[in-house]
Structure 1
Amino acid sequence: MAAAPVWSVDPRTGKRREQVAAEATAEDVDAAVRAAHEARGPLAGRAVRAAFLRTAAALLEADRDRLVGAADAETALGPARLTGELARTCYQLRAFADIVDEGAFLDVIIDHPDDTATPPVPDLRRYKVPLGVVAVYSASNFPFAFSVAGGDTASALAAGCPVVVKAHPDHPALSELVAEVLRTAAARHGIPEGVAGLVHGLEAGVELIKHPLVTAAGFTGSVRGGRALFDAAAARPVPIPFHGELGSLNPVLVTEAAAAERAEAIGAGLAGSMTLGTGQFCVKPGLVLVPAGAHGDRLVKSLADAVGGTAPGVLLDHRMRDNFLAGVAERARLEGVESPVAPGADGEHAVRAGVLTVPARRLTAGGAHDLLLEECFGPVTVVARYADESEVTAVLSRLPGNLSATVQLSAEEAAGQGRGAQLLAELTPLAGRVLVNGWPTGVAVAPAQHHGGPYPATTSTSTSVGGTAIERWMRPVAYQNAPEALLPPELRDDNPLGLPRRFNGRLER
């Protein structure tokens, strides 16, 4: 039987654009993984892979117009947004190249023998080594930054791990173009093209997670799909780490004092955040706790006015559109839910952004209203109006894990007066990133960034953004009493590579 074709589809019309590939068979997946496995040696040199990452960034920039055009045709995200996302992707590749050059990610620790310790310490030398082939599952909503050359791929390559990417069906043509850029960059540095494999198809994704030469996986997508792959990774004869980003409500708490001080500004800021990218950001604020009363009314009016003036948008595909329309309709039917701005369809392909409100007490006892505590992907947010602090605490206690949690404070609260510190402490167990007087959309690529959180936000405690994302694809190994002549140069006393390290308890840079 011939492999099923893979089509590029225009989300603005729902029509097929072109056939770009065929779905990978089990044999295709095996060939891609084995080719990646064979590329480990050429990728091992730190200087080579840092240069590879920088070349990939330069080639992506050189082909910007064609890549952005292809991405827009398949995602409808718009040239301005996509140009910025491509720039972020190139910055990310270069940032990991700098990390590779510096070498601190190897976490070198050397302890010389100490017979006076209890128990005695032998000669121990520890650093981190790459795991091997990494499976990367692309996201739909970030066709550059979380796709073929995105953060999972960049961090894995930086760690010394070849990748096989399972392309997202929403942008297969772009995936092929970006994969070709990576292969071209690899070839310029003597690295086999198999270092960046690409496969298409749902079954290919299943085969990939099961392959015995795959040592870890990175995923960004739905709770259902991610959990299925996570379970498959754990069920293997040799289980592997699965770093999945699945779903997040990203709650926002607005204090009474903050609403009194700047209700209109908060409402407008919330509207901009929840409709950004047609509400298709993983950190979109999906639940907002707002005080009941006059100040809360001002905030909701400001939010509704801004959202009501937002132009309709096209979601990434028609399946997501159908799910969004069904999701908002089901939520709007719940008792006590009102729609100051009704989300819904706009013609055959677009959707309108909306706002739903509900008394916070409806979210404290379970039942049908628990649906409002689940992510609804698209341009909608739920405003829960609380009567007192006890309702806030009750709602927060029922929330699942999140990528982000935000608190909007007054100037006095932010200065340390009132409950600001206490609220920050209450939000900390809920999320991997806690914001004060900001909005969660927009995840900076920086060394201190953390993009992860308690389940179901992610399946591990790691981050997929920032320099420490490289740690996911490495494991520590310690050598005991090994003659120095046999040790890798990273672990020798004279430090021939000039690496940052901890030497006999002292940090050396």
Structure 2
Amino acid sequence: MQHAGGVFSLIQGGKRDVGTSLVQHPQIRAVGFTGSLGGGRALFDLCAQRPEPIPFFGELGSVNPMFLLPEAAAARGAAIGAGWAGSLTMGAGQFCTNPGIAVVGAGPAGDAFVKAAAEALEQVAPQVMLTDGIARAYQDGKARFDGRNTVQPVLVTASEGRTAAPNLYETDAASYLQDHALGEEVFGPLGLVVRVSGADEMETLAKGFEGQLTATIHMDDGDIDLARRLLPVLEQKAGRVLANGFPTGVEVADSMVHGGPYPASTNFGATSVGTMSIRRFLRPVCFQNLPEALLPEDLRG
């Protein structure tokens, strides 16, 4: 590997030793990574253990919770449920911003949301996943849910080979907070609905989430007071907070933040999408009292 004015190399390989060799190579000065929590954390540790440590910008996992506030759920819960199904299964659920958890109140409005989501998911045909390993991980994630008494199946399907079919489960806030595994990302079209008893329990649940790429609030005008309670919590949990939408779309824009507190990413001050993303691979230099003839051309008067 040689230094040049613009070099792109694609290295094919399906084993972890490829990534291990890359991050330990002395000419590699910074690393950007998107992948599993286990694999990313292993590479992060290798970067830190180098004789000269280098920055590692890892995007490791996120369930991107959605919160359906009461007025919005009552007015359009079914429509939000159908929209969630579309976002949940987009690209076989292989989006890092895939909204894997929906938080909604107990009662008829929440029931309508769950029913509409399940009906929409039933219409989604199995989709092919990117690799055999990703497909196996999705099947293992589903098995983790099937083996838990803390969740109830709403829609359960079988996935074979590299295909993935959608699955939907339901639990309550107390069970979710007591079982850490329910908050671990399942990369694929699997959704979990967490039912809450009211505003206080919704806020408690929000505080229990780990770091996320995104957090979504579905709200109407009558939900503004509850939204004000949730926002200070969610802005500490996620790199992007949005209202009345679905987070799978990520726009390349000046204001975009695609990162978040650990384990969503290893550097909460960085973004991997948007104009600020280039800062991950730049090093600032201050030129103090240098004569103009020595300054870089773009800094000269």
TM-score w.r.t. the length of structure 1 is 0.57
AA paired with 1:387?
S
Q: Distance in 2 between matches of 1:210 and 1:348?
A: 34
Q: How many residues align?
A: 298
**Contact in 2 for aligned 1:343/1:380 (Cα 8 Å):** no
1:270-289 alignment runs, 5 A limit = 270-289=84-103
2:67 is the alignment partner of 1:253: yes
Q: Equivalent residue for 1:198?
A: 10
Aligned residues with identical type, % of pairs: 43
Cα deviations across residues 403-445 of structure 1 (Å, max 9, x unaligned)? Answer: 00001102333xxx43222222221111000010100101011
Match of 1:409 among 196, 219, 223: 219
**Contact in 1 for aligned 2:30/2:54 (Cα 8 Å):** yes
Q: Equivalent residue for 2:138?
A: 324
Q: Equivalent residue for 1:481?
A: 289
Q: Distance in 2 between matches of 1:221 and 1:284?
A: 14
Q: Equivalent residue for 2:163?
A: 350
Q: Equivalent residue for 1:14?
A: none
2:257 is the alignment partner of 1:450: yes
Q: Distance in 2 between matches of 1:407 and 1:296?
A: 15
Q: Equivalent residue for 1:371?
A: 181
Q: Distance in 1 between matches of 2:165 and 2:287?
A: 60
Q: Equivalent residue for 2:198?
A: 388
Cα deviations across residues 445-484 of structure 1 (Å, max 9, x unaligned)? Answer: 1111111101111111211111111111111111222222
Q: Distance in 2 between matches of 1:428 and 1:282?
A: 18
AA paired with 1:296?
G
**Contact in 2 for aligned 1:451/1:464 (Cα 8 Å):** yes
Larger C-alpha radius of gyration, 1 or 2?
Answer: 1
**Contact in 2 for aligned 1:343/1:355 (Cα 8 Å):** no
Q: Distance in 1 between matches of 2:154 and 2:122?
A: 9
AA paired with 1:469?
S
AA paired with 1:220?
T
AA paired with 1:439?
F
AA paired with 1:491?
L
- Structure 2 unmatched runs, 5+: none
AA paired with 1:476?
P
Q: Distance in 2 between matches of 1:341 and 1:476?
A: 52
Q: Equivalent residue for 1:219?
A: 33
Structure 1 residues 348 and 470: alpha-carbon distance in aligned structure 2, compared to 1, 3 A threshold: closer
Q: Distance in 2 between matches of 1:198 and 1:363?
A: 41
User: Alpha-carbon deviation of 1:321?
Assistant: 1.9
Q: Distance in 2 between matches of 1:242 and 1:349?
A: 30
Match of 1:440 among 244, 247, 250: 247
1:174-213 alignment runs, 5 A limit = 195-201=7-13, 202-213=16-27
Match of 2:129 among 315, 327, 332: 315
Structure 1 residues 348 and 466: alpha-carbon distance in aligned structure 2, compared to 1, 3 A threshold: closer
2:151 is the alignment partner of 1:337: yes
Q: Equivalent residue for 1:361?
A: 174
**Contact in 2 for aligned 1:332/1:356 (Cα 8 Å):** no
Question: What SS is found at the alignment partner of 1:198?
Answer: coil
Question: What SS is found at the alignment partner of 1:228?
Answer: helix
Q: Distance in 2 between matches of 1:340 and 1:204?
A: 40
Cα deviations across residues 177-201 of structure 1 (Å, max 9, x unaligned)? Answer: xxxxxxxxxxxxxxxxxx1123233
**Contact in 1 for aligned 2:98/2:248 (Cα 8 Å):** yes
1:66-81 alignment runs, 5 A limit = none
Q: Equivalent residue for 2:227?
A: 420
Q: Distance in 2 between matches of 1:349 and 1:482?
A: 60
Q: Whose strand fraction is larger, Structure 1's or Structure 2's?
A: 1
2:299 is the alignment partner of 1:491: yes
